[in-house]
Chains A and B, each alone.
Chain A
Amino acid sequence: MKKSSDRPDMAQFHKLLIAGGLLLIMFGTGCVSIGNGAGRMQITDDERFIDSMGRDISTADGYETVVSLYSAHTENAYIIGAGHKVIGVNSASTFPPEATDLPVLDYRGDPEPLIALKPDAVLTRPNTDMNYSDYIKAIEKAGIQVISLYPDNEEDFDTYIEILGMVFGTEEQASDALEDYHSRLDAISQVSGQVDEQEKLTVFFESTKAGYRTVTTDSNPARAITLAGGINLADDVKPVTKGSTIAEYGIEKLMVNSDRIDVYVSQRGGMNGGGSLISIPQREGFSAIKAVQDGNILEINQKLISAPSLRYDKGVMQLARTLYPWLWDALSEYDIPEPISRETYAELMVKVTGTPFFVPTSTLYYEKEHKVHTYGMFDDVRWWDEDFDYIETAVINSFIRGSRDADGTEHFDRMSPVTRADVAFTLFMLLELETTERSVEIGDLEGCGDPAMVQKLVDAGIMDLDEMGNFNPDLPVTGQEVLKWMALLEEDSLWAD
């Protein structure tokens, strides 16, 4: 007897169902999980390349105005010195900060606003190319060159950056940026290499909170764990769909391995990110996970750890700092008898507190008013500066303050020496000070910008006065003095959590 499922119409129906189901899964998992590459990019000669969708593209005439519909393309364009040629971006392009001033285009909507910009080319990725084909076709019909790029693996990344260099005519800068990028990754790898095998920590990487998914072993986050000197707990997983970097893990396996997880890393941002520092410990059963018990949870921005970006080394670095702070946040270099600058102080404070680098995750970040400081808006601290992350993190976490003019321009004043007033601010912000009975008379209290803070620190015996009874708020402090204060605080267990 023939079973009903063997009938040709039913078999066809089942195929349709499977195809539909797969499509649903693909959409459900969000952009980061879909197989990103339709094909491999290839440079065919000095002025020609094949993009990820198989388009044969010439750069002979050059592209002077380009719209980027993928945040990684936007970042990389700026990093290879082509930011001035980018004239429009997608809403997720929030780095560098100046990209947020550009017109925002939405490939899920009407293509007319993009066409009206009349760019020479539009940079996108296969994911968008395939899922929003009507939008892409409309652009191509308007005579605009569409270039779809996505490196499917580590090997393709260099080709991808080289092609970006060809598109923008900044081949040399692209080559230099790649060289620097690899040097930075090598440097991290070398330092991480100092960790003994027995001391290596095991990491679980949560890519999406839905189903507690992780990443495939050939993905950027998995590679980052290795580069940072960690062990990836999920070393035997399979992609949710072919070509995807997202892999199933699930609550059962997490619970079985709960005592093996030293550090729990959650990818934030994007459509379906992982959980937060607050929500993860609150999940049912998660208190059994060693990393949760020890408070070793790290939120990391998807753009730094998963995306094909020349900023990827920052994600790796962040992971390495979390795993082995003793390797990365050593303080001996600040043990100097000379006054230190505000930029050095910012770096020191981020290290001494072990604070993860701040990176905005919300695409709405720049739409909101930020009273303390807006990321990337100091006129003397730019995103390409080596100490950018330290200064931004120190200010966002209120370890040190910048200043703001009446017109809103922000300055950090990086080279000025750090003063006793600056240190008083840091200490007051970090400590949970209680008002004491003691009230020391401070001669120059009125000249202190934050008299209440200074008074409480002096009353608590944490900062002292000179022989004349003055606080001397503007007096520069040395690296050794700063370390002395920090050591004193650590000994007294006065750290704020």
Chain B
Amino acid sequence: MTDAITGLNQDGSKMLNKVIHLLDRKGIKRMKRLLLVLLIMASLVLTGCSGINSNTDKKALLVVSFGSSFVENRKASIDATDEALHEAFADYDLYTAFTSEIIIDIYKERDDKHYDTVEEAIERIYKAGYGHVLVVPTLVINGDEYDRMIEAIEPFEDKIESLVISDPLLTKTTDYNRVADALVSELPDLGDDSAVVLMGHGTHHHANSAYPALDYTFKHMGHDNIYVGTVEGAPPFDEVAEDIKIGGYEKVFMLPLMIVAGDHAHNDMAGDEGDSWKLMFKSLGYEVDYELKGLGELPAIRDLFIEHAKEALEEESY
């Protein structure tokens, strides 16, 4: 009986139990069965359409990331961030989702391993009857991936009593200072002749402005030698190289401004072919060094995601 009602929403479950209890006392077996079937059907319909998960203490933490097919890099960044967040919100049950369906398909086909899309994860959480859901996107900017995540979550806004979504890394003005501080704290000791280049992904989305804004923040904070560039947006390589030339530096140290040191970091930043930034900076005469470490591997960045999540919960409570 208990198994039969698993997956129903909380209100439905309680009502169903009351009716069953009543029927048990009277011993009207056939009618009990009939009623039970009808109630389950009704409850299922309600769950699918307009049931609200409320009056429950069940809490779920949904960590959303882009994903990575590189297993080791995923473990070091995404999995580690998931764990750090779960540790910070220990009374929440952890759920994870990838926004990249290509990466989900790779795991499915290659390793027979299932990862949820955001749609699947939120549906799963809802059906499990959680009334308090904290969604943490471990994304750098409020770009396409974030928009798509919001689209997937929005339909559940009225179905889950408390549905809280925290901000990507670079959202509020204060975030820029905090991210800049966190990144500076993770940099190795470099001489005055070294420029630091943080290579972000970049996008056609208007949120690309986060990259030049972060570059500005570094400069404003007195870190004139730190430059932010992007592979597919602005500022592009040429502009970063021009600025570094003006700065008169001899060495370039690169770090990916991406959660995972995946394909872009290995190939576009540190690759040995074509337009890799390593080769292009070297061909301009710089000594080049780099670290293939995603932002998700940096404890200071993980802490920021935790702070964002806490702030989102605090805002919700007002």
Bound complex: CA of A358 vs CA of B251, how far in Å? 29
> In B230-273, which residues have CB < 8 Å from any A CB?
237-238, 250-251, 263, 266-267, 272-273
Q: Contact partner of A451 among B106, B266, B285, B287, CB < 8 A?
A: B285
> In A284-305, which residues have CB < 8 Å from any B CB?
284
Q: Contact partner of A453 among B110, B266, B267, B285, CB < 8 A?
A: B285
CB neighbours of B250 from chain A (8 A): 435, 452
Residue contact B71 to A283, C-beta cutoff 8 Å: yes
Contact with A along B264-308 (1 / 0, CB 8 A): 001100001111000110110111000000000000000000000
Chain B residue with Cβ nearest A278: B266
> A371-B238, A372-B283, A435-B193 are known contacts; what are 10 more A-B pairs with Cβ within 8 Å?
A209-B109, A278-B263, A283-B110, A283-B111, A372-B274, A397-B272, A398-B279, A401-B283, A429-B283, A452-B250
Q: With A283-B71, A284-B71, A397-B272 as known contacts, state yes or no: A425 contacts B287, CB within 8 Å.
A: no
Q: Is B73 an interface residue (CB 8 A)?
A: yes
Residue contact B71 to A396, C-beta cutoff 8 Å: no
What is the distance, in angstroms, from B238's C-beta to the closest C-beta of chain A? 8
CB neighbours of A211 from chain B (8 A): 109-110
Q: Is A179 an interface residue (CB 8 A)?
A: no
Residue contact A209 to B283, C-beta cutoff 8 Å: no
Q: Is B100 an interface residue (CB 8 A)?
A: no
Chain B residue with Cβ nearest A454: B285
Residues in chain A within 8 A of chain B (CB atoms): 208-212, 272, 275-276, 278-279, 282-284, 358, 370-373, 396-398, 401, 425, 428-429, 432-435, 450-453, 456, 496
Bound complex: CA of A431 vs CA of B127, how far in Å? 58
Q: With A282-B73, A284-B71, A398-B282 as known contacts, state yes or no: A435 contacts B287, CB within 8 Å.
A: yes
Bound complex: CA of A372 vs CA of B285, how far in Å? 15
Q: Contact partner of B69 among A279, A373, A432, A456, CB < 8 A?
A: A279
Most-contacted residue by chain A among B110, B237, B267, B280 (CB, 10 A): B110
Q: With A371-B275, A372-B275 as known contacts, state yes or no: A429 contacts B70, CB within 8 Å.
A: no
Q: Is B101 an interface residue (CB 8 A)?
A: no
Residue contact B282 to A429, C-beta cutoff 8 Å: yes
Residue contact A371 to B237, C-beta cutoff 8 Å: yes
Contact with A along B47-80 (1 / 0, CB 8 A): 0000000000000000000000111110000000
Bound complex: CA of A373 vs CA of B111, how far in Å? 37
Residue contact A370 to B274, C-beta cutoff 8 Å: yes
Q: Contact partner of B273 among A272, A358, A451, A496, CB < 8 A?
A: A358
Bound complex: CA of A373 vs CA of B283, how far in Å? 13
Q: With A210-B110, A211-B109, A398-B279 as known contacts, state yes or no: A282 contacts B274, CB within 8 Å.
A: no
27 A-B contact pairs sorted by A residue (CB < 8 Å) = A210-B110, A211-B110, A212-B110, A272-B109, A276-B263, A279-B69, A279-B71, A282-B72, A283-B111, A284-B71, A370-B274, A371-B280, A372-B275, A372-B283, A373-B274, A396-B274, A397-B272, A398-B283, A428-B285, A429-B282, A434-B287, A435-B251, A435-B287, A450-B285, A451-B285, A452-B285, A452-B286
Q: Contact partner of B111 among A284, A358, A397, CB < 8 A?
A: A284
What is the distance, in angstroms, from B146's C-beta to the closest C-beta of chain A? 25
CB neighbours of B267 from chain A (8 A): 278
Residue contact B282 to A428, C-beta cutoff 8 Å: yes
Q: With A371-B237, A372-B279, A425-B283 as known contacts, state yes or no: A278 contacts B70, CB within 8 Å.
A: yes
CB neighbours of A358 from chain B (8 A): 273
Residue contact A433 to B287, C-beta cutoff 8 Å: yes
The 4 residue pairs across chains A and B that have the minimum distance between CB atoms: A452-B285, A210-B109, A282-B72, A282-B71
Residue contact B70 to A282, C-beta cutoff 8 Å: yes
CB neighbours of A275 from chain B (8 A): 110
CB neighbours of A372 from chain B (8 A): 274-275, 279-280, 283
Residue contact B279 to A279, C-beta cutoff 8 Å: no
What is the distance, in angstroms, from A377's C-beta to the closest C-beta of chain B? 13
Residue contact B73 to A209, C-beta cutoff 8 Å: no
What is the distance, in angstroms, from B172's C-beta to the closest C-beta of chain A? 34
CB neighbours of A371 from chain B (8 A): 237-238, 275, 280
Most-contacted residue by chain A among B69, B238, B250, B274 (CB, 10 A): B274
What is the distance, in angstroms, from A375's C-beta to the closest C-beta of chain B? 9
CB neighbours of A453 from chain B (8 A): 285
CB neighbours of A208 from chain B (8 A): 109
Q: With A278-B70, A282-B70, A372-B274 as known contacts, state yes or no: A209 contacts B285, CB within 8 Å.
A: no
Q: Contact partner of A397 among B273, B280, B286, CB < 8 A?
A: B273
CB neighbours of B285 from chain A (8 A): 428, 450-453
What is the distance, in angstroms, from B164's C-beta to the closest C-beta of chain A? 34
Bound complex: CA of A212 vs CA of B106, how far in Å? 12
Bound complex: CA of A208 vs CA of B287, how far in Å? 38
Bound complex: CA of A450 vs CA of B73, how far in Å? 36
CB neighbours of A450 from chain B (8 A): 285
CB neighbours of A284 from chain B (8 A): 71, 111
Chain B residue with Cβ nearest A398: B279
Residue contact B273 to A396, C-beta cutoff 8 Å: yes
Bound complex: CA of A373 vs CA of B274, how far in Å? 7
CB neighbours of A401 from chain B (8 A): 283
Q: Contact partner of A429 among B71, B274, B279, CB < 8 A?
A: B279
What is the distance, in angstroms, from A368's C-beta to the closest C-beta of chain B? 9
Bound complex: CA of A278 vs CA of B73, how far in Å? 10
Chain B residue with Cβ nearest A281: B72
CB neighbours of A435 from chain B (8 A): 193, 250-251, 287
Residue contact A209 to B287, C-beta cutoff 8 Å: no
Bound complex: CA of A246 vs CA of B86, how far in Å? 43
Bound complex: CA of A262 vs CA of B308, how far in Å? 49
What is the distance, in angstroms, from A373's C-beta to the closest C-beta of chain B? 8
Chain A residue with Cβ nearest B262: A278
Residue contact A279 to B70, C-beta cutoff 8 Å: yes
Q: Contact partner of B275 among A370, A425, A432, A451, CB < 8 A?
A: A370
Chain A residue with Cβ nearest B237: A371
CB neighbours of A283 from chain B (8 A): 71, 110-111
Bound complex: CA of A335 vs CA of B70, how far in Å? 43
Bound complex: CA of A401 vs CA of B193, how far in Å? 27
Bound complex: CA of A58 vs CA of B237, how far in Å? 55
Bound complex: CA of A456 vs CA of B251, how far in Å? 12
CB neighbours of A276 from chain B (8 A): 263
